[in-house]
Amino acid sequence: MRLLLMRHGQTHGNVSGELDTAHPGLDLTDLGRAQAEAAATALADERIDAVYVSSRVRTHQTAAPTALARGLRPVELDGLEEVQAGDFEMRKDHDAVAGYIETVAAWLEGDLERRMPGSETGAEFLARFDAAVRTIADAGHSCALVVSHGAALRTWVSTRMTPHPDAPPATQPLHNTALVVLDGDPDTGWEMVSWQGHPVGGDLLEDPTAEDPTGDLDADGDGEVG
């Protein structure tokens, strides 16, 4: 099957730099809504059998234009949520953002037993995201759109995808409405088809002034990270 893995559009938390991972989460900004509309247009030629979202409102808002255009109802699926910030939730200070990023970076280096303070380990995160992807695959779709979150997508894709020479480092930014396309299944593995790190609807839909603490996974804690 084919998975279209999209990060949600820009949120007010991305602009303010807060680590917003809890339910229900902040809404999309006006730019985020424009990104969602542009994404629907950019995906118009893709065959999409189903649309899946996390429980966070931003993924529902991002998926809505694409689902509406196809007469589909987005399916909310536990497990697709962002890497939970735990003790860092809704903080934007340097120590919190650096602690979040450094924990995810440790998972990417293989330390899956490291725990996000007050939250999940890397192994626990991968288990719940794996379970969600298996549910999608078991539904028998040829192609599904999954709208999820920045750190979650890069962590899961980088861990589960067969290495590809054109794949960027997992620390490279995954901007709002960026799109990673994979082919495969949970049993045989996943191969990269494409990796669009910028908004799928066009680079003019980026906001370089936003703090966005879940767009980069910069181990030095000076970039973005959700």
Q: Looking at the predicted structure, is the pLDDT value of residue 59 above 70? A: yes
Q: Find the mean pLDDT for residues 51-57.
A: 98
Residue 39 in domain: yes
Query: Strands 143-148, 2-7: parallel, antiparallel or unpaired by DSSP?
Result: parallel
Write down the H helix ranges in 114-186. Answer: 122-138, 150-160
Evaluate whether residue 203 is within a structural domain: no
Specify if 205 maps to a domain.
no
| Distance between CA atoms of residues 2 and 193, nearest Å | 9
Asked, for residue 199, whether it belongs to a domain, the answer is no
**The pLDDT of residue 213:** 64
Instruction: For residue 46, indicate whether it is catalytic.
Output: no
Task: Give the domain range for residue 131.
Answer: 2-136+149-175+186-192
Burial class (CB in 10 A: 0-12, 13-18, 19+), 84: buried
Report the percent of the chain where pLDDT is more than 90. Answer: 86
pLDDT tens column, 133-150:
999 999 999 999 999 999
Q: What is the pTM of this model?
A: 0.92
Report pLDDT for 170: 85
- Average pLDDT, integer, range 61-76: 98
Domain count, the chain: 1
Distance CA 63, CA 202 (A): 17
Domain assignment present for residue 223? The answer is no
Give a yes or no: residue 214 inside a domain. no
Could you tell me which residues come within 8 angstroms of residue 95 by beta carbon, excluding any fewer than 6 positions away? none
In a domain, 96, yes or no: yes
Q: Is the dihedral of CA 72, 76, 80, 84 positive or negative?
A: positive
User: Is 191 labeled as catalytic in the residue annotation?
Assistant: no
Q: What is the pLDDT of residue 171?
A: 82
- pLDDT tens digits for 173-210? 899 999 999 999 999 999 999 999 999 998 767 777 67
Q: Which of 8, 60, 149, 175 is catalytic?
A: 8
Q: Residues 18, 81, 82, 206: which is the catalytic one? A: 82
Q: What does the mean pLDDT of the chain come to?
A: 93
CATH code, 44: 3.40.50.1240
